[in-house]
Amino acid sequence: MADAFDEDCDYLFKAVLIGDSGVGKSNLLSRFAKDEFRLDSKPTIGVEFAYRNVKVSEKLIKAQIWDTAGQERFRAITSSYYRGALGALLVYDITRRATFESVKKWLRELRQFGSSDMVVILLGNKLDLGHSREVSQEEGNHLAEEEGLCFMETSALEKLNVEEAFLLMITKIHEITSQKSL
């Protein structure tokens, strides 16, 4: 079945979610892939991934998005997680400054293990909790500019910018891969 399906799509892109534990990576993914949100924390530990098909410029793209599923707590993310990934969503929680301060550490890891032309989108998640904000939008923007990343604030809970963030990443990957194949 999977093979038959793969033949139907024009491209298969792998992308990864990274960022500190508890920033909302799994919920961003389940919102994008299944339009679901979970209030409880995820029960299992280990890498998980989900697929969703999207159309970009008349091409059918199968996006395979990997989630660390708790492994980041033990710093057990290995090079195989990043292998073949064309994009990354690097997530922090706007209500927890420490998760923003970790962004540079995640970028170092990404640049060590990931490919140099990977599309990286910085996401400040939990936008619905604006009253408890510890990181301003300007700071997020500034860091993204400094590091050459795209930036968005999202809410997996309230479905704000989630679709947009994934689609931005997928569209940018598509731009890069189609330029390469010219």
**Residues of the shown chain interacting with ligand GDP in the complex, contacts defined by CB under 6 A:** 21-27, 38-39, 41-42, 125-126, 128-129, 155-157
Nearer to ligand GDP, 67 or 118 (CB): 67
As a whole number of angstroms, the distance between CA 124 and CA 94 comes to: 5
Of the CA atoms within 13 Å of residue 2, those in its CB half-sphere come to: 3
| Torsion of Cα atoms, 122 then 125 then 128 then 129, to 10° | -120
Nearer to ligand GDP, 56 or 106 (CB): 106
To the nearest whole angstrom, how small is the minimum distance from the Cβ of residue 59 to ligand GDP? Answer: 29
What string of H, E and C letters represents the secondary structure of 141-180? HHHHHHHCCEEEECECCCCECHHHHHHHHHHHHHHHHHHH
In the bound state, the residue with its beta carbon closest to ligand GDP is 24
Nearer to ligand GDP, 30 or 114 (CB): 30
To the nearest whole angstrom, how small is the minimum distance from the Cβ of residue 116 to ligand GDP? Answer: 26
Nearer to ligand GDP, 61 or 160 (CB): 160
Nearer to ligand GDP, 96 or 174 (CB): 96
As a whole number of angstroms, the distance between CA 117 and CA 128 comes to: 32
CA 145 distance to own-chain centroid: 18
Within 10 Å of residue 177's Cβ, how many Cβ atoms? 15
To the nearest whole angstrom, how small is the minimum distance from the Cβ of residue 10 to ligand GDP? Answer: 30
To the nearest whole angstrom, how small is the minimum distance from the Cβ of residue 35 to ligand GDP? Answer: 14
To the nearest whole angstrom, how small is the minimum distance from the Cβ of residue 65 to ligand GDP? Answer: 12
CA 58 distance to own-chain centroid: 23
